[in-house]
Amino acid sequence: MNIATGRKGTRVLLDAAPYFALFLAGAVQGLIGSFQYSRDAPLGAIAFCLVLLATGLLGAWAMRSLAGALWPAIGWILASFILSMPVASGSVIITNSTAGKWYLYGGTVSSLAGVALSFGAWVRGTGARPR
């Protein structure tokens, strides 16, 4: 497959790939954080929340759009909340502890804060946008 042909399908793929990478970054953060949030509780959970906030803000800045912050947040929420559900055998990955609450609630607030802060003018930058 030749991706240098400039066809419309290739353009859509190249436009969607960075957003998919941001979604995967958020999902991987959720996956790793779900198993490691209790390290140095609750400081480990807070650190994961700060990393998620930074990912959202940097993603929005790099993509110059709100979607740059939204896709890592969606990936993190899906991964973390799916892993927080109990299974039929009764085991739970994210426990109802102080660190678990800091991780889930703090991560949700961090992801929403990243999306809200990406509405700022600093995301869009100054000057003309390259085409």
3-state secondary structure the chain: CCHHHCCHHHHHHHHHHHHHHHHHHHHHHHHHHHHHCCCCCCHHHHHHHHHHHHHHHHHHHHHCCCHHHHHHHHHHHHHHHHHCCCCCCCCCCCCCCHHHHHHHHHHHHHHHHHHHHCCCHHHHCCCCCCC
The answer to whether position 109 is within a domain reads: yes
The whole-number pLDDT of residue 70 equals 95
pLDDT per position as a tens digit, 33-81? 989 888 887 888 899 999 999 999 999 999 988 999 999 999 999 999 9
Identify the band that residue 7 occupies on the pLDDT scale cut at 50, 70 and 90: low
Range of the domain at 77: 23-123
The answer to whether position 130 is within a domain reads: no
Total structural domains within the chain: 1
The answer to whether position 33 is within a domain reads: yes
The answer to whether position 86 is within a domain reads: yes
The whole-number pLDDT of residue 119 equals 85
